[in-house]
Amino acid sequence: MAIEKIKSEDRLTIYIGYDSNQNNPPCYNGVVNSPFQVCKKSIENYNSDIEIVPIQLDKLIEDGVYTREHDPKATTEFTYSRFLVPYLNNYKGKAIFMDSDFLWQCDIEELLKFYNPELSVMCVQHDYTPRLKTKMDGIKQFNYPRKNWSSLMLFNCEHENCKKLTPEIINTETPQYLHRMTWAEEIGAIPMEYNFLEGDYDSIHNPKAIHYTNGGPWYKTWDGEYRKNWTDIYDTL
């Protein structure tokens, strides 16, 4: 079944990256792709009316929308397809993209406080060096400019710069052009507490959104901070 382009121009739509490699993580039984499901549930706990769409690579390939060659350095199936969000939203209205390893502890519509209609995209503008050399799944940790900026993006899909993000551009442009948001020219800022990098930032009380960017509680051996926040939601699925 194809991914349907969103018809509504008024509603805020949430797009979550979906990685089929997480369908059977070495941890919880009975829940397919538990990182995605917990992320989705954490959003719905605060806003049950919001529209949530998974970005699934196999469906984008099936539709002929995504034709990019496999990148061995890509850490997820949605490394590049995330930038299709304005296209999937018909270049209309507002949309949010996030990685699937987020956990929300507030109404995600709080992000709209930082929306600037003059800009094409807003994000948390991280400036840090990863503390770990490898992630939990053994993938090498790379450091590069604007790392993790694209893990949470609030798009003004109608902006002319977002209209640059056509399937052709997503399938052919360099990782640097996409992830460093060269296409955006100017980028709006969102506070760090809405994309709190667990394991890379010092602990804060009750972050708005926890990002388990180095691995998370879906791995049996993971013993980082904010484990219970995730398992409490998992237990309600």
Q: What is the pLDDT of residue 7?
A: 47
Q: What is the pLDDT of residue 189?
A: 98
Q: How many residues does the chain have?
A: 237
- Kindly give, in sequence order, each residue whose CB lies less than 8 Å from that of residue 157, ignoring residues fewer than 6 positions away: 85, 86, 89, 90, 91, 92, 93, 94, 95
92, two tokens: 């209309």
Beta bridge partners of 154: 96, 122
The tokens describing 184, both together, are 């955006």
Our CA angle for 21, 207, 115, nearest 5°, is: 85
In order along its 237 residues, the chain shows pLDDT tens digits of: 355 555 445 679 999 999 998 876 555 556 788 999 999 999 999 999 999 999 999 999 999 999 999 998 898 999 999 999 999 999 999 999 999 999 999 999 999 999 999 999 999 998 766 655 565 555 665 655 688 999 999 999 999 999 999 999 999 999 999 999 999 999 999 999 999 999 888 778 889 999 998 889 888 788 888 999 999 999 998
Supply 103's token pair: 């956990």
pLDDT score of 1: 38
Helix, strand, or coil here: 153?
A: strand
Q: SS3 string of 114-177?
A: HCCCCCCEEECCCCCCCCCCECCCCCECCCCCCCCHHHEEEEECCCCCHHHCCHHHHHHCCHHH
Q: Could you tell me the pTM of the whole model?
A: 0.90
- H or E stretch including 227? helix 227-234
Displacement of CA 192 from its chain's centroid (Å):
15
Q: Look at the domain 13-234 and name its fold.
A: Spore Coat Polysaccharide Biosynthesis Protein SpsA; Chain A (3.90.550)
Helix axes 34-44, 227-234, angle to 10 degrees: 90
Domain definitions of the chain by residue range: 13-234
| Both structure tokens of 146 | 């604007």
